[in-house]
Structures are given as C-alpha cells and as structure tokens.
Amino acid sequence: MPSDPRIALAISALAQPIAEFRALVQGALTQVDAFLAAQGATPDDEAERARAELGAFADMRIDAAAFASLFPKARRVDSDALEALRRATAVLRAVVARGDDLFKVVVPSGARLGTAVNAALGGVGRAFGAVMLAEVVRGGRYHAAQHDRLLDEVEFLAWNKVERRFAPPLIIGVDGADLHAGALTDFADGREKLVLVVRGPCGPAPLARCITPGTLVLQTTDGSGLDRVASFDGPAIAAMLPEGAAAFLHDPLGGRESWQRLTVTHLPDAPKRPIGGLSAFQIGEDLRLLGDLARTPFAVPAAGGAATPAVGASDAVDKIASWLLGQSGLSGQA
Amino acid sequence: MHTETEARPTGEAGAAGAARRKLLSVAEHTIEIVSDAGEGAQKCGQIFGAVSAKMGNGVWTVEIIPAEIQPPPRVPDGASGYRIRIGSQPVTNWGDATTLAVAFNEQVLLARHRLDALAPDAVLLVEDKWATDEDPDIRAAWESAMAELSGREYRIVPVPMEQQCLTLVDNPRKGKNMFALGMLAYIYDRDMDRVREQIAYAFRKKSEEIYRSNVALLELGYAWAGEHLDFRIEVAPAPSSGALVVMNGNEALGLGAIASGMELCAMYPITPATSVSHYLSEVFERFGGIVHQAEDEIAAVGVAIGASYAGKVAFTITSGPGLALKTEFLGLAVMTEMPLVVVNVQRGGPSTGLPTKVEQSDLLAALFGQTGDAPHVIIAPATIEECFHVMVTARRIAEAFRAVVIVLSDANLATGVTPFARPKPDVRWQAEPLDLSPVPDGQKAYQWDPRTGLSPRVIPGRPGGMYTVTGLSHDEGSKVAYSSGVHQHSSAMRSRKLAVLQSLLSPPPVYGESKGDLLIVGWGSTKGAIEEAVDRARADGLQVSSTHLRFLSPLEPGLKKIFKRFRKVMTVEINYSDEPGEPFITDENRRRGQLSLLLRSSTLVDVDCWTRVPGEPLRPGSIVEAIRSQLHYLHHSPRGGNQS
C-alpha cells in the first residue's frame, strides 16, 4: 500500500484541499506562537508586531513604534491558560509533523472501513479542538473544566458545520473485500473528500449506494476525474478500483435529475460469485441501482419529430412514454 | 493613410514570406481591441493582457466600455473594447495612444479615432466585410469612415475575420474575438500554450466543446496572420523581479479583504464596485467569510455595522450613488465608534453619471458628506498592488481607532490589470480573537483617553459589558446626554483620534528633486500617469516633481513645508474644475479640483489645479502639456508662483 503509485496520484490530485487544511493548521500555529511570544514582548517586539499588523501599505507611512505605544499590548493570561495554550500548540505541531501521512489511512485486512475512517478523522480533528482552545485562551475566556476537553478526539458525527467545511481529505487504502461503502455516507458532509484506493477484487460498483443528490461520487480505474473531486465544493467519495469495475461520475452540478448528474462510462456485467461478505445478489443490486439512476426517462425526438428509442428505455411503458413525449414536443434532452 | 486593398497571396507564407517580414523591436506597444458590445473584444483583451503579463511584460490594461449596456450595433458611441499597454519595463498607466488596433467594424474604429486614442501612425486591423456589405448604407458608412481616417498616416489592414471564422463556426459574432486573439498572438509572438491555458481559464465554467471551438479560432487567426501580415512586433519581457501575480484592482481589494481577516462583505450591486463581491462570492467562504447581498445600499452598510457591533470585521463596498445612500449610517458608525471599512470604487457623477467610467469626484463627498461633525479616515490606494495591501491597513486602523475608514478606489484601478509582486501573507494581518474576558470594573463603553480620544472596544457578550448603542449624543457610558458639555467633549474625543492618527504618519515622499519650479500633487490612480509625465518633463529639463497622497483624512503631515520648496504647486485630478479665463470665472468664484480645495484650506498655500473629466484615465502626454503650460505661465508672469 505505501508504495502504491495510486496513493501518490491521489495525494497530487487532492493538493488543493490538503493545502487548505494545512494552511488552517499552520495559520493557527503561527498566531499562537505570536501570542506566546508577545507575553514577554519588549517595546521593539511590540513595534515589530504593529508593523506587521499594519501591513505593507503602512510601511514608511505609519510609525509602527508610536502606533504600538498607543494600544494595549497582547492580552496577558494566567499560567493555567498559558499551559493550556502550550498543549494546544503541541497538538497542532503534531498534526503538522505528520506531513502527507496525515491524509492517508490504511485499513487492515478484515477491519471495518467506517471504524478506520472515523478513527483517522477523530485524530486529525483534534486540530480543530486545538484551534478552538487557542482562540478561547487568547480571547480571555479559558476555564479548565470547560475547555480542556477540546483536545480530546471527537468523532466526525460530533463535528460542527465549520469543521466539516474545513475537513481534511483522506486517502484510504482498503481491501476490496472490506469495501462496504454504506459506512462512508456518515462522512458525506461539508467538504469532506474520501478517496479509496482499493486492493484486490471487489464488487464492480461498490460506491453506487453512496449516490445522493448533493454528494459527488466517482469510480475510476485510472485516476481520471480526481481533479473534479478536489475542486467540488461539497462532500465527495471516490474509489480507484481494479480494471473491469464500473466507471462513473455522479456530479451534483449536472442537473436536477439523477440521469443528468450521473455519467456512466463503463458498466460491466454482474459477477456470479460473492465477493467478501457481499452476495452476488447484493453486488448485482449495485449495478442495477447504477443503471436505474443513469437511465434517461424519455427520448430525444429525432429530426422530423419521430422519437428515438430512449437510452435504457427497455420496457414497453418507457417506449410509449418516449413516443408520446416526442409527439408532444415536451421531450427533454438526453 | 495606407490601406492594403487586398490580402497577400497565401504563397507568401513560409520561409520566403518570413524573410520579407519586418520585425519591429520596441520598448513598449499599446494595443486595442474594439467591437460592438457583446462581441467579446474585452475577453480577447483580458486574455492577451494576462498572457503578456505572465510572459514577463509590464502590462497595464483599461476597459473601453460604452455608456449603455446594449447600444445599437455599428455606432461609434457603442465602441466596447480593451486597451493593453505592454512594455519591457513595468507599466503604470494606459499611456497616450494606441499603436495597434483590431476593430470588428469601422464605426468603433472611428470612435477611437475621434477620441484621439490612436497614434498618428497606428496599425489598424479592421474587419473588411462591411466594405462589400449588401446594405448600401453600410457600404456608404464604410467609405465615409475610410475617408475620415485617411486624414492620418494610419496603416489600415483589411482582415476578412468573418469570412475566416465562418469556416469553423456558424456564428462568427461569437468567435471573432478568438480569431483576433490569434492574430495578436502571432504579431507579438505570444506563447500559444499559455494562450490556450488562459482560454481554458477564461472559459472554465463552459463546456469542453466551447473551449475547443475557441482554441480552433485562435489557431485560425494565428495562421491567417502568419500567412498575410508582413510584420511582427517584439516587446522584450521586463527584467525578472521575483514571483508576480496578475489581477485587477477589484480582485486585489477582495483578496486583500481575505488576507486581512475580514469576515463579512455586505454590499448591494453597483458598477464598478460589484466585481469585488463577484470575486469574493467564489472564494470568500473558503476562508470563513460571507458575502451578503442586501436589499439596498442602506441595508448593506447597516448589516456591516451590525456585524461590527457583534465583533466581526466587516466591510461594505459601493460606488458614488451608493455612498450617498449610506450617508446616514456612516454617521451612525462614527457616533457609535463602530470599526467599519467602506470601499468606494469611484465612477463619474453626479447621480447615475458615468457608471462605467473613471473619475475622482467623490473625495469631498466622502469627507464631508455626513451631517454633523463626523470625523473619519480616508485612504486612497494609488496602484493595483496597493488595492491589495490597503485593506490590511484599513482594517487595522478601523479596529484600533474604532473608526470608519473609507477606501477610495476608482474605475481605473478596478478594471485595470497589471502584474505585481506576489504578496507574502502574514497571519498578523488578521484580527486578534475578540477579547471576551470580563470587562474590568468601572470600565465604560467609551472609556475615552482624554489625551487621545481612544477607547477599548467592548463586544456584546462580555460579562459586565452591556451598554446601549445609540446614535444620539452620549457620554462615556453611552448614556444619552443633551448637555452642551457632553456633546462638546464627545465631539472632541471623536475628532482627536484623527489628529492622533496624523501624528503617526510620515510626510509623503517627493518624486524627483525635493525643490524646483513646480510640484504636482496627486491621489489615487493617477500616480503612474503623473510620474511618467514628470519623468518626461524632467528629461526636457523642466524643474518639476510630484508627490502622491494616500491619506486624505487626516492629511499626511508636512505638506506645507514641502510646498514651500516649490514656486508653484498644482494638483492633477480626474474631477471637474472651472478653467481660468472662461466666461464669468474669476479667481474668487472658480471651483477648483477637490484635492486642491482641501490642500488650500489646510495649508493656506495657493495650490492650483489641472483637472479633467474625460471619462477615461488621464494620459501622461496631456499632463506634460499641462506642466508646460503652467511653467510657461510661471516663467512669464511676475506673480506666477504660489509662494510670491
């Protein structure tokens, strides 16, 4: 798994959300460091701080030392609060020190996918608690009994709206046999991005059940489409699967109807045998669900007014509906 | 005028053609693309400007926008387009005249000719389909236009743009701009991969098919130019000066707001300010910010004030008419000492005025527009780069001084694009977390320092920090008080803050020699044109210098001392002033440029002015003429100097 080139591909594709999360953590760390340094600041330090705060436009125009002398110094906090701030800093530094590993999870064979993702996000999510604790201390509101818990791990389901917007992306290595995608829907919120790198055989459309109107879902065998996962302003679940699996993109911006949002570029036949804990029936259901969601409900009228057979309009009712709509001129667009 | 009546045979392409092709190496060139509204000339110009900047040229761009949103086609007043001045050095303004123009019809070209926008020897590439149009009126208009243009030494090159575009697309109106871009890419030897990248960016919200169609048209224009034009123009890149970014002033303001930790942009759409919020609406949320489009200008500033009261860092953006509507609420913000940043992207006025055109006519309205005594800060960025950095300073001053800070930008900065040094963000630009600790016993809502008028900000929710916010005159505890002593004292405290801020400011630097015959004083977007004019005048031996003000309230200190070192001081501004010698105009009743008026009252120096309201940025050449005129008067009149 660590040497799997698909991991590097996913890391590269998710560079933007990774950079955003890092910027959040690094920015908070820098602010906390500056606050700690200001606790023992000299007048020169204060002037330097004022110069930085006023920005480049004020360079050579505003006397930073005189400015600093006019306004209160950084808020002084007591030793308990300072200690809490240092603990918060340590958490932020630990998060930064993990580098790209922060965004990778390997699910051991036979382990539950949802549990592994929850644990990973819970660890990373301590950064949010650390940022909040730092804000509380710097705002003069720290109470140990109330705020020390902010550094505990908190599972994703307890994250607030803002934290979910800034959630770190995760690249998850998992055996195909353990890929029970239903567990992932718990994390489809905010701007969380989950990219599965699947090892070994798996069902051909495991992510079909993750498709909901507002979630971008991608299945790919070559990594194409991951850039869209990174840029989508909402939750996204993607899987890089072995050759032969279904390939599709469900893009919430595609339209109101599921067939407008879903583009299936490869739809294999259903396997006859079970894979992992999933029966052939369950696997077949994934494919049927995908086919149903992608089916165009009616036909596009051909030149001259006659309706062409609708894509997927295999039964008689669909054909009649296609013909009627074609005749009435009310047909939609394929 | 030299008109090429027919295109060269295609056989001239290739090595033989290239051998006869002239390569003109120049330090700078100014290009315009002009069309009817909706034909995409601006998109073409924006892409060409961005690519040129990315290839290392100094660049300054200006939009040419008709007064109407959809003027009728083929009328001179409907000319819509884009001017790009590119150079081998940084370019700070739009220059004097266009040296190469691409026009989609002869009428828009005529408009530029009549505005004296074209250099006498400009090369004009013009769509030639109108010469043979089936409508006799159009053919006659073409002939008439060509006759008028023949009064100059233009080189006119007819180009079958539509005929060429029709080989690829059904509607050439939607493709000519990319064909024109291709021609320009050939003429100026632009990196075609960069051009394609920029097209992809420009059409990032469109389909792949549209991208491909545009690229095909681009390549068609490039190939056509390669076969039929006998010249190319080389403008070497500027010396490398580190990492650069390329953006317009409104994008810079928006990005600066993000970098400074602003959290709320409350606005109501108004040209030319709206694009700040367009930009922010795409990215602000990623940084924890919100763009709130209110139901009107008044509500927008009200929302910003409310957010500021709650402890957020808020700003509102507008243009002249919107500033007028916000007047009452600005008074409230001053009275309640709510930190507030107001960005006014100035346009021509009064009333609806010139919505899309540049002017610097809101200085006095921004300064004195409020009722009662409402002291506040006014800052004017002078470059697009400063549009970014000014937001950091404005936010910090607003919060530290509990003050209203008005940032005066203008349409020239708003829509102009130029490269500048990539900012290095500093987290200290952003606000400290709110102080939510208990308010110390006895501290009041306006605990004015009797010497400075400054007082610590009290945020709702702090234990012990409850107070009534009121626009009525109030005492330190925010209690309504009508006694003369309270109003006198609180007025003094609010006013004192400006004096304190001025005490922190440095005198403005002088561009050129520190003494001489004439000092030009400017503010806002005219800096580049003024300094270029000063350079040209000094090269001719004239003793002229300039200084450019950023702080207009309070004014930067030491001005009188600087003025005294020159025989004459004159402001250059894009606002209206009466011309001496015009009927009824006397020295006593003459209405002067707005900065001039301000400087005269604050320094008691007889500061003259040269102002124009042409609906376009000032040209350096025009300023040079004004300088010559002033110096001529100075040297030939015994009372010409303001120091006499």
Partner-chain contact B427 A30, CB within 8 Å:
yes
Partner-chain contact A52 B426, CB within 8 Å:
yes
Q: How far is A154 from chain B (nearest CA, A)?
A: 22
Q: How far apart are CA B248 and CA B255, in angstroms?
A: 11
Per the domain annotation, does B490 fall within a domain? no
Percent of chain A with pLDDT over 90: 62
Per the domain annotation, does A67 fall within a domain? no
Per the domain annotation, does B376 fall within a domain? yes
How much is the pTM? 0.84
Mean pLDDT along residues B455-462: 89
- Quick check: B276 and B265 in contact, CB under 8 A? yes
Partner-chain contact A55 B381, CB within 8 Å:
no
Q: How many domains does chain B have?
A: 3
| pLDDT beyond 70 at B414 | yes
Per the domain annotation, does B467 fall within a domain? no
Partner-chain contact A140 B500, CB within 8 Å:
no
Q: What is the dihedral of CA A246, A252, A256, A260, to 10 degrees?
A: -30
Partner-chain contact B426 A55, CB within 8 Å:
yes
Residues B581 and B537 in one domain: yes
- Quick check: B574 and B590 in contact, CB under 8 A? no
Q: Which of B390, B454, B505 lies at the smallest CB-CB distance from A62? A: B505
| pLDDT beyond 50 at B5 | no
Residues B306 and B213 in one domain: no
Q: Which of B435, B504, B509 lies at the smallest CB-CB distance from A75? A: B435
Q: How far is B390 from chain A (nearest CA, A)?
A: 5
Structure confidence at residue B240 (pLDDT): 77
Residues A302 and A290 in one domain: no
For residue A119, what are its two tokens? 């644990």
Mean pLDDT along residues B124-132: 96
Query: Please, which pLDDT band fits residue A35 given cuts at 50, 70 and 90?
Result: confident
Nearest CA in chain A to B459: A139
| pLDDT beyond 50 at A297 | yes
Nearest CA in chain B to A67: B504
| pLDDT beyond 60 at B456 | yes
Picking from B213, B234, B255, the residue at the C-terminal end of a domain is B234
Domain that holds residue A316: 296-334
Mean pLDDT estimate for chain B:
93
A63/B contact by beta carbon, under 8 A = yes
Mean pLDDT along residues B523-540: 98
Pairing relation of β-strands B404-410 and B566-573?
Answer: unpaired
Q: How far is B456 from chain A (nearest CA, A)?
A: 9
Per the domain annotation, does B504 fall within a domain? no
Q: How far is B507 from chain A (nearest CA, A)?
A: 8
Residues B223 and B275 in one domain: no
Residues B161 and B124 in one domain: yes
Residues A207 and A226 in one domain: yes
Structure confidence at residue B18 (pLDDT): 53
Structure confidence at residue A53 (pLDDT): 94
Residues B208 and B271 in one domain: no
Q: Which of A52, A55, A140 lies at the smallest CB-CB distance from B435? A: A140
Q: How many domains does chain A have?
A: 2
For residue B480, what are its two tokens? 């309504």
The strand pairing partners of B549, in sequence order, are B523
Q: Which residues contact B564 (CB under 8 A, 6 or more apart)?
A: B605, B643
Per the domain annotation, does B197 fall within a domain? yes
Structure confidence at residue A325 (pLDDT): 54
| pLDDT beyond 50 at B76 | yes
Structure confidence at residue A318 (pLDDT): 55
Residues A18 and A94 in one domain: yes
Structure confidence at residue A314 (pLDDT): 46
Looking up residue B36, the CATH number of its domain turns out to be 3.40.920.10
Model pLDDT for residues B216-270, shown as the tens digit of each residue: 999 999 999 999 999 999 999 988 778 999 999 999 999 999 999 999 999 999 9
Q: How far is B285 from chain A (nearest CA, A)?
A: 9
The strand pairing partners of B248, in sequence order, are B417
Domain that holds residue B596: 510-636
Mean pLDDT along residues B479-488: 88
Q: What is the ipTM of this complex?
A: 0.93
Model pLDDT for residues B23-68, shown as the tens digit of each residue: 999 999 999 999 999 899 999 999 999 999 999 999 999 999 887 7
Partner-chain contact A58 B400, CB within 8 Å:
no
Half-sphere CA count of A318, side-chain side, radius 13 A:
15
Structure confidence at residue A312 (pLDDT): 42
Per the domain annotation, does A58 fall within a domain? no
| pLDDT beyond 50 at B594 | yes
Residues B325 and B214 in one domain: no
Model pLDDT for residues A162-185, shown as the tens digit of each residue: 899 989 999 999 999 899 888 899
A162/B contact by beta carbon, under 8 A = yes
Nearest CA in chain B to A35: B432
Partner-chain contact B436 A67, CB within 8 Å:
no
- Quick check: A250 and A218 in contact, CB under 8 A? yes
Higher pLDDT, A328 or B153: B153
| pLDDT beyond 70 at B644 | no
Residues A265 and A313 in one domain: no
Write a three-state SS string for B85-148.
Answer: EEECCCCCCCCCCEEEEEECCHHHHHHHHHCCCEEEEEEEEEECHHHHCCCHHHHHHHHHHHHH
Residues B284 and B185 in one domain: no
User: Residue-wise over B433-460: b if at least 16 C-beta within 10 A, else e?
Assistant: bbbbbebeeebbbbebeeebbbbbbbbe
Report CA-CA distances (Å) from B317 to A115, B267, B289, B391: 48, 6, 15, 12
Per the domain annotation, does B25 fall within a domain? yes
Per the domain annotation, does B472 fall within a domain? no
Percent of chain B with pLDDT over 90: 82
Looking up residue B515, the CATH number of its domain turns out to be 3.40.50.920
Query: Please, which pLDDT band fits residue A139 given cuts at 50, 70 and 90?
Result: confident
